Amino acid sequence: MFLTASQKNFGRFAALACALLLFIAHGTSFARESEGEVPSDSLIPVFPVYKAILGNVCFWEDIYLKRQNNEVVVHDAANPSRVYKVVTLIQAGLPDARKINIYREGQAKEKYVALLKKLSSQKPITREEKRIAALFPGKNPRGQMKRAAEQVRLQGGQQQRFRLGIIRSGKYMDRIKKIFHEHNLPEDLAYLPMVESSYHNGAYSKVGASGIWQFTQTTGTRYLIIDDAVDERLDPITASYAAAEYLARSYKNLQHWPLAVTSYNYGLPGTLRAAGEFRSYSEVFRRHSTTAFQFASRNFYSEFVAAIEAGKKLEKTLKREQPVPTLNFKLKGYLCLDDLKRYFTLSEKQVKEYNPALRPAAYNGDKWITENYTFHLPDTPGLQERLVHFPDILYFHKQKKVRYHKVRKGQSAGKIAEQYGVTLKELKRTNRLDSEGGIHIGQQLLLPDSSSGHSTSRWHLYDKQMKKLKAKHKDLEKGPAGYPVLKRTGKHLPQ
C-alpha cells in the first residue's frame, strides 16, 4: 500500500511537530554541542536532545505511542526517521500467523533493498520509486541510496507494550525515583526500565539478562544476591538500588549523563574509550563504530529520552497500578521457607507475590533462603511485632549442601533425573529449564532433594523451646501478635 500525498504531508508535519516540541522542552542544547560549544550547566537539561539524535528520538516516540504491536516499520538503520513502509502483520495466535508474518517481513525488507539498489544506478520511473527517491535529498542521492540498501531494518511497534509498561510502573515508579534521589541521581532515570523491559519483571533476554533492569548475571553479582535460592535481579526495588549504584559509578567516570546512560547498554569500558576518542556525545553517536556499538547501543540514549517524553504523556491519562505497602525483613542467617511461612502465617501465593526473587530451590526445600536477603511481607496488623521478635533459633548458620550434575555428551534431562531418583518435572522446575527440558554439554544442574518429603525445617526446635518456656512460666500466654507474653504484665519473653 502506497502513501498518499496527504499521508506524506501528515508524516512530515508529525515529524516537524515532534522536533518542535522537543526543542521547546529541551532548549537549544542540541545545537550547541554539535557546533563544538560547551553551554553552561544552567542552559542544558539533564538529558538533552542533541541535533544529531533529534530524528531518532522522534522515531522512537512514534514507535512507543503510535505504532501498534502488529505493525512493523521498514526504515533506514542509520537514519530511523527515514521510513520506507509500515507493514501490518496478522494477529498472533491465528493459524500459521508466525510463519506468515516472518514471510511478510522478509518480503518487505527484500523489496526495499532491491529498490534502493536499483535507484542507486537508475532514475526513478514508477510512483513508488519516485517516493523512495524523494527521501534522499541533497548531494549524491545515488550514493546515499547505495549505502541505505545495506541498512534496511525492521522495527516492531510497541504501542500496547509501552502502555502496559506505564501501567505496571505505577507500582514501583515513586519508590524508584526516591532511590535515585537518595543517591543524588536524576529521578527520570526511573524511565530506563521502560526501554529495558517495559517494567515487565519476568523479562528474560537471549543473553541471560533478567528483571526490569535487565542485569546480566555477571554484572548483577557485583551488586545483588544471585544464587540457587535467590535472584535479586527479579526484585524490582532491590535491583533499583543496584541500578543506582551502577549509574552513579558510570556518571562519576564519564561526568556526562547521555554517555552514562549509553554505558548501561554498551558497558562502561567501551563508553570510556569512545568518550576519549571523540569530543562530544554527538560525535560518539555519529562516528563511533565497533562490533559491539551498533544499532542498539547507538540508539539507546535516544530510546531513553523518547521513553521519558512518551511515558509522561501517558501518565496523564492512564490508570496505573498502585504501590503495595510492604514490610522488609533482612535475614541474619539462612532460613527454611516453610518456617517463615509458618511463623508469619503466609500462604505460598503471598510469598510469591511479595518475593519474586525467590527461586524454585527455595520453595521445594533444596536450598535455604540466603543470608542477608531482604524478605518482603504484607504490611498487615500484627506482622510488624512478630517481625521484631523473630526467633533466632529458626536460623541456619550455613547454606544447605546440595548435589550438582555436570551434563556430559549424549545425556538428556530425563536420563539425568532417572539417574538420581528425581522426577523430570522437579529437575526442570529447580533449574528453570524450558518445557522440553533443553540442556547443553557442560551445564551444571542443581539436583532436587530426593528426600524432600522429610522435614528440613527448624520449627521443631522452636516448638521445643516454646514448650520449655511454658513449663518454666506457668502464667505464659499468647500475646496479640502471636508470640509469648507473661499474663497480667504483658511483658515479652526474651528470644
Q: Judge whether 491 lies within some domain.
A: no
Task: Assess contact for 264 and 192: CB atoms under 8 A.
Answer: yes
Strands 476-478 and 484-486: antiparallel
Verify that 50 and 154 share a domain, yes or no. yes
Q: What is the pLDDT of residue 270?
A: 97
Measured at the alpha carbon of residue 431, what is the angle toward residues 266 and 168, in degrees to the nearest 5? 55
Verify that 21 and 92 share a domain, yes or no. yes
What mean pLDDT value characterizes the chain?
87
Verify that 130 and 262 share a domain, yes or no. no
Please check the confidence at residue 443 and state whether its pLDDT lies above 50.
yes
Q: What is the pLDDT of residue 476?
A: 55
CA 290 to chain centre: 25
Verify that 49 and 184 share a domain, yes or no. no
Verify that 190 and 260 share a domain, yes or no. yes
Cβ burial, residue 332 (10 Å; 0-12/13-18/19+): exposed
Q: Which domain holds residue 466?
A: 326-399+455-486
Q: Judge whether 282 lies within some domain.
A: yes
Please check the confidence at residue 40 and state whether its pLDDT lies above 90.
no
Verify that 432 and 394 share a domain, yes or no. no
- Residue 482: which pLDDT band, with cuts at 50, 70 and 90? low
pLDDT of 378-434, one tens digit each?
Answer: 999 889 889 988 999 999 999 988 788 999 999 999 999 888 888 898 888 888 888
Verify that 54 and 94 share a domain, yes or no. yes
**Domain count along the chain:** 4
Q: Judge whether 495 lies within some domain.
A: no
How many CB atoms are located within 10 Å of the residue 271 CB? Answer: 25
Q: Rounded to an integer, what distance in angstroms lies between the CA atom of residue 292 and that of residue 313?
A: 33
Verify that 61 and 92 share a domain, yes or no. yes
Verify that 264 and 350 share a domain, yes or no. no
Cβ burial, residue 73 (10 Å; 0-12/13-18/19+): buried
Please check the confidence at residue 484 and state whether its pLDDT lies above 70.
no
User: For the domain that residue 253 is a member of, what is the CATH number?
Assistant: 1.10.530.10
CA 105 to chain centre: 27
- What global pTM score does this model have? 0.81
Q: What is the pLDDT of residue 101?
A: 95
Tell which of 159, 192, 220 closes a domain.
159
Verify that 336 and 477 share a domain, yes or no. yes
User: For the domain that residue 408 is a member of, what is the CATH number?
Assistant: 3.10.350.10
Q: Judge whether 494 lies within some domain.
A: no
Mean pLDDT confidence for 60-86: 97
Q: Rounded to an integer, what distance in angstroms lies between the CA atom of residue 102 and that of residue 422?
A: 40
Verify that 32 and 155 share a domain, yes or no. yes
Q: Coil, strand or helix: which one is 428?
A: helix
